[in-house]
């Protein structure tokens, strides 16, 4: 055994010497054909440590390095604030929201502007936003998988009443409050109708990911109350986003008819999810139900449908409808 190991080491050393020598000869011979004149201005001046610092500084400005530093900072802050808020009996997601405020321009950017611009330069925010949206898609996918849609079969009317009541009351209060702010902030830019409708809709939209996180942290996802809450919030947001499309169409074109295209497309999308995608995935699920390992093709197919659904929906919240329809 020792002789065999010794033989391997000898072969390894001989290969290093042989190919190292060949590489050196190739470089020396190839350098004869070079006509490149070394420009002293393009070379880094200074001692080796200065050159090392310059190398580190250049790497810190790379988009991937910036994104990784941002992820580290965000993870540390959200875990810290999530833990602190859990000590006072609040959901961890509330602490994560506060952590976002602390890392944003309101706190870090106000008190330490240099650190804020170093950590979140303007050109890097697009990458961070894209990553956050992908994470939101996957999170809503997990929430949809944990929902028990069979619990809602006898409670459809309740979800509609709860969700629409959750829209009407803040919608009315939003329109009412627009009387006091319209003249000062928007009278010179737009008419009162689209402004009042926009304020009402903005008050009616539920922070669906926040609600889903609270339900998940309380281990209520598979309970009747948690399922009813998630479904009501999904109905709330679908209705509110359709109304928002109407408001935008009215404010831009002054016509209600132009908004019907967006609403109609949303209805077609939901119908396809329930009538086509859901039965198909149910059949596929039956095929793989008794298998211990799901192959890569099946996983890729599920992710493909998820991405297409997210691309169609435009707003990530409609992905929840797809999950409720297809995975129940």
> Could you give the number of structural domains in the chain?
2
Same domain, 209 and 294: yes
What pLDDT score was predicted for residue 194? 78
The fraction of the chain above a pLDDT of 70, given in percent, is: 76
Are 101 and 174 within one domain?
Answer: no
User: Are 162 and 275 in a shared domain?
Assistant: yes
Q: Is residue 126 part of a domain?
A: no
- The reply to whether 144 and 99 lie within a common domain is no
For the ranges 145-159, 210-224, 263-277, the lowest mean pLDDT is seen at 145-159
Is residue 23 in some structural domain?
Answer: no
Quick: pLDDT tens for 234-255: 777 777 777 776 776 666 655 5
Last residue of a domain, one of 95, 120, 145: 120
> Are residues 207 and 116 part of one domain?
no
Q: Which domain holds residue 89?
A: 60-120
Residues in the chain: 328
Given this model, what pLDDT does residue 81 score? 93
> Which residue has tokens 């996802």?
221
Residue 163, both tokens: 């969700």
Which residue is associated with the tokens 């190292």?
Answer: 20
Contact 325, 235 (CB under 8 A): no
Q: Are 74 and 143 in the same domain?
A: no
Are residues 317 and 175 part of one domain?
yes
Structure-token pair, residue 181:
């702010």
Are 165 and 298 in the same domain? yes
249 assigned to some structural domain? yes
Report percent pLDDT > 90 for the chain: 8
pLDDT digits (tens, 9 = 90+) for 61-101: 778 888 888 999 999 999 999 899 989 888 888 898 899 99
Task: Tell me the pLDDT tens digit for each residue of 23-72.
Answer: 988 888 777 766 655 544 445 555 676 777 777 777 777 788 888 889 99
Domain-located, residue 35: no
**For residue range 262-277, what is the model confidence (pLDDT) as tens digits?**
667 777 777 887 788 7
pLDDT in tens, 300-325: 777 787 777 776 555 444 444 444 44
Sign, CA torsion 50/55/60/61 = positive
Q: Is residue 168 one of the residues assigned to a domain?
A: yes
| Residues 300, 156 share a domain | yes
CA pair distance 131, 137, nearest whole angstrom: 10
pLDDT on residue 150:
65
CATH of the domain at 248: 1.20.1530.20
pLDDT in tens, 156-184: 777 778 888 888 888 889 888 888 888 88
**Cα separation of 284 and 67, whole Å?**
38
Instruction: Give a yes or no: residue 74 inside a domain.
Output: yes
Query: In this structure, is residue 53 part of a structural domain?
Result: no
**Residue that finishes a domain, picked among 92, 120, 148:** 120
């Amino acid at each position: 055994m020792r002789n065999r190991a010794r033989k391997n080491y000898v072969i390894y050393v001989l290969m290093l010497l042989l190919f190292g020598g060949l590489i050196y000869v190739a470089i020396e011979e190839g350098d004869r054909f070079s006509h490149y004149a070394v420009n002293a201005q393009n070379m880094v001046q200074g001692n080796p440590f200065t050159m090392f610092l310059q190398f580190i500084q250049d790497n810190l400005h790379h988009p991937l390095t910036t994104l990784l530093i941002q992820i580290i900072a965000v993870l540390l802050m959200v875990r810290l604030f999530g833990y602190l808020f859990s000590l006072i009996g609040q959901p961890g997601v509330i602490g994560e929201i506060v952590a976002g405020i602390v890392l944003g321009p309101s706190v870090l950017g106000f008190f330490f502007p240099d650190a804020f611009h170093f950590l979140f330069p303007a050109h890097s925010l697009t990458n961070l936003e894209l990553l956050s949206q992908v994470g939101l898609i996957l999170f809503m996918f997990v929430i949809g998988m944990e929902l028990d849609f069979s619990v809602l079969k006898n409670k459809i009317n309740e979800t509609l009443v709860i969700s629409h009541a959750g829209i009407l009351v803040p919608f009315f209060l939003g329109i009412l409050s627009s009387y006091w702010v319209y003249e000062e902030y928007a009278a010179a830019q737009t008419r009162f109708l689209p402004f009042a409708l926009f304020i009402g809709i903005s008050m009616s939209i539920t922070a669906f990911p926040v609600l889903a996180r609270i339900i998940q942290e309380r281990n209520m996802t598979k309970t009747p109350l948690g399922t009813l809450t998630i479904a009501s919030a999904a109905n709330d947001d679908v209705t509110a986003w359709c109304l928002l499309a109407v408001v935008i169409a009215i404010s831009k074109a002054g016509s209600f008819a132009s908004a019907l295209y967006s609403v109609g497309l949303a209805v077609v999308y939901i119908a396809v999810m329930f009538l086509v995608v859901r039965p198909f995935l149910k059949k596929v699920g039956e095929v793989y139900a008794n298998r211990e390992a799901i192959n890569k093709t099946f996983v890729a197919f599920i992710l493909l449908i998820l991405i297409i659904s997210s691309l169609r929906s435009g707003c990530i919240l409609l992905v929840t409808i797809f999950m409720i329809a297809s995975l129940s």
